[in-house]
Amino acid sequence: MRKLLPLLLCCLLLTGCVRDPIAPMVSDAAGDVPAPAVAGLPAVSNTATLWFRYGEEAFLAPERRELLSSPQESYALRLLQALLEGPGAATAELGGLFPQGTQALSVTQSGRVMFVTLSRHIMNGYADEPANWRDNPEWATEVPLRRKLAMQSIAATLTENCEVDTVVILVEQGREATDSLRLRQGYYTLDGDTTLADPLKREEALLLTPMRTAEIILECWQTRDFTRLYRYVARTDPATAQPRPEEAAFVATMNELPHLLWAVAEGGSVSADGQASVFTVGGACLDAGVERTFDGMVLHLIREKGLWRVGLSELTGREALP
């Protein structure tokens, strides 16, 4: 018996040192259960600024809109979906910028950079573009401009509403092999250039901010392009409550005024309610054949349905420039 005791103790020690089996033991005990996904949360409303093309101008104008999105939905993706759907009916002067069928497939943010994946429809032409557009001087300018404005509308919308500085555009690919999903420079030039396009930055020169609008108004006044200037005249003059006249009557009135030779606007302070902006203008005009300089002329702009415009009396209500 004494000889058996050491043997029994050794067996017990060996048994106690056996490791747990690799396969886990089945247990009936309740484990950690993942929290169920919260469904049915109310939609969140956000006021967003979307940028669309202003008529046939080479500029983008803002549209303020209330966007509804679910808490599980990416706000940036919802912004792009609204942008691709086009402007609302309230502002007839605004137009969409994307070929039919274009969709925003995904967005991913890394630091201050937003990566946007668009469907391959972005590479299509527009429905009204002629096949021989290169042979027409107007279309040869218009076709690349549309693509530039389309990309800038994405950049302006995302940088205004999200915490990002630049946007990288990716394009959905088919079965063909590619070294990168990045948008190519050929999208803009339409010449087959496969160089990767630069990340998009906000270009203020393409946006109808108060200052840019004031500059265009003065430029049209100086070049006597009163037909174009008419697009920037408010439909109702806030100073007189008078409606804007017909275009022909407006042009005739402007032709009777002294010829504005040059002008420079400064300032551009915006009112507390965001509906008015004020500039100080200096320049020179040709009055009865005599050149006369002036400074200190105050130019008021108003926001009408989101667009910056000038009241009629700001242009025609002056008996003479200062």
What pLDDT is recorded for position 40? 58
Token representation of residue 214: 């004031």
Is the distance from CB of 96 to CB of 86 less than 8 angstroms? Answer: yes
Closest CA to 170 of 107, 126, 124: 107
Is the distance from CB of 136 to CB of 190 less than 8 angstroms? Answer: no
What is the side-by-side order of every strand in the sheet holding 44-54?
A: 60-69, 44-54, 94-95
What pLDDT is recorded for position 322? 63
Q: What is the mean pLDDT of the chain?
A: 86
Kind and range of the H or E element at 48? strand 44-54
What pLDDT is recorded for position 306? 87
Residues in the chain: 322
Q: Comparing 38 with 145, which gets the higher pLDDT?
A: 145
CB atoms within 10 A of CB 115: 18
Render pLDDT for 144-196 as a digit per residue (tens, 0 to 9): 999 999 999 999 999 999 999 999 999 998 766 566 899 999 999 999 999 99
Closest CA to 305 of 63, 95, 58: 63
Query: Residue 200 above 60 pLDDT?
Result: yes
What is the side-by-side order of every strand in the sheet holding 259-270?
A: 259-270, 276-287, 290-304, 307-310
Query: Residue 292 above 70 pLDDT?
Result: yes
What pLDDT is recorded for position 12? 41
Across the range 283-310, mean pLDDT stands at 92
User: Diameter of the chain by CA atoms?
Assistant: 136
Q: What pTM value is reported for the model?
A: 0.81
Would you place residue 42 in the very low, low, confident or very high pLDDT band (cuts 50, 70, 90)? low
Compute the chain's Rg from CA coordinates. Answer: 32
The amino acid at residue 251 is V
Query: Residue 20 above 90 pLDDT?
Result: no
Is the distance from CB of 320 to CB of 287 less than 8 angstroms? Answer: yes
Render pLDDT for 220-251 as a digit per residue (tens, 0 to 9): 999 999 999 999 999 999 999 999 999 999 99
